[in-house]
């Protein structure tokens, strides 16, 4: 029987694919004796929608960074499927600020554009935009040695954004910073994400940080890392990192995540 005329005339809505699709990812490393292997990640599956901010938490050694490095094509998988629906390789921000000490702040931010032979005028325009976005305009001519650790990490973020990649991968970028600086940079990252709506996968050991930043939090088990829980974060955006901590739901969800980390078999 034919569908009603109205139904046949309505255009079909086709949802775009996720930005990132990972299916049954497994990774192992050879041990030093080369006769045995350590299984780092096992049967790990998740997806990330376009423009979504996803944090991954888990105990040390569970394979969080390994997953991120596979997404960045810095590690090879043993098995499984990893698909990034983008024309460009993702940009990556590492735990330690990877700025070049002999370049100024502006020159560091411009580096990916120089490597692509972007015209100088376009480089300057883009660098000025990124410096303004990350609050670094007045430090454009400073050297990294003149900056605090938090400011150097801002430079790393600005450089990752300068090339305007669709996907941003962040490996514990605030992990080495003091708590006050972390809160400041979390607020800055939230502001930047609101302005750019990049697809972000963010690795962190901090449950507080994950719940502050993310749309969803993926909880990994101890090694070999696999998915224990995929939790939706219910807080509206834009978010204030201080006011958020007055919300009872924040602490209820914090307890839930810590409970999963302490006893992953309860998931």
* Cα(69)–Cα(52) distance, integer angstroms: 19
Contact 206, 179 (CB under 8 A): no
Alpha helix positions (H), 163-206: 179-196
**φ, ψ dihedrals at 36, nearest 5°:** -140, 165
The answer on pLDDT for 182 being more than 90 is no
CA distances for 134 relative to 13, 110, 128, 147, 195, angstroms: 37, 14, 10, 14, 11
Give a three-class secondary structure readout of 54-67: EEEECCCCCCHHHH
pLDDT tens-digit profile of 74-131?
A: 999 989 999 999 888 899 998 776 888 999 999 999 999 998 888 999 999 999 998 9
Does residue 228 contact residue 62 with C-beta atoms inside 8 Å?
no
Note if the pTM is more than 0.75: yes
More confident residue, 36 or 21: 21
Condensed to tens digits (0 to 9), the pLDDT of residues 197-234 reads: 999 999 999 999 999 999 999 999 999 999 999 999 99
Residues 6+ apart with CB under 8 A from 260: 219, 228, 229, 266, 267
- Whether 44 contacts 226, CB under 8 Å: yes
- Residues 36 and 66: their CA atoms lie apart, in Å, by 19
The whole-number pLDDT of residue 4 equals 64
d(CA 262, CA 148): 35
**What's residue 65's pLDDT?**
93
pLDDT for 266 beyond 60: no
DSSP, residue by residue, 248-265: HHHHHHHHHHHHHHH-GG
What is the C-alpha separation between 209 and 187, in angstroms, rounded? Answer: 10
Instruction: Give the Cβ contact number of residue 267 at 10 Å.
Output: 12
DSSP code for 18: P
Does residue 265 have a pLDDT over 70? no
């Amino acid at each position: 029987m034919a569908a009603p005329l109205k139904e046949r005339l309505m255009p079909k809505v086709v949802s775009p694919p996720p930005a990132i699709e990972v299916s049954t990812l497994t990774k192992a490393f050879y041990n030093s004796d080369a006769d045995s292997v350590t299984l780092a990640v096992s049967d790990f599956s998740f997806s990330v929608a376009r423009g979504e901010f996803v944090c991954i938490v888990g105990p040390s050694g569970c394979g969080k960074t390994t997953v991120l490095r596979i997404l960045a094509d810095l590690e090879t998988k043993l098995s499984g499927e990893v698909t990034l629906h983008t024309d460009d390789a993702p940009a990556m921000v590492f735990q330690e600020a990877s700025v070049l000490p002999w370049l100024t702040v502006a020159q560091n931010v411009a580096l990916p554009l120089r490597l692509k032979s972007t015209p100088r005028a376009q480089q300057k325009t883009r660098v000025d935009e990124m410096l303004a976005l990350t609050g670094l305009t007045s430090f454009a001519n400073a050297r990294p040695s003149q900056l605090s650790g938090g400011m150097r990490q801002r430079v790393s973020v600005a450089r990752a954004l300068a090339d305007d990649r669709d996907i941003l991968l962040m490996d514990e970028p605030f992990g080495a910073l003091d708590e006050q600086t972390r809160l400041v940079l979390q607020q800055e990252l939230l502001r930047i994400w609101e302005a750019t709506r990049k697809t972000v996968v963010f690795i962190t050991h901090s449950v507080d940080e994950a719940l502050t930043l993310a749309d969803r939090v993926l909880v990994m088990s101890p090694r070999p890392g696999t998915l224990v829980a995929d939790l939706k974060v219910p807080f509206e955006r834009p978010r204030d990192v201080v006011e958020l901590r007055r919300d009872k739901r924040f602490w209820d969800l914090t307890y839930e995540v810590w409970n999963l980390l302490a006893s992953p078999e309860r998931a």
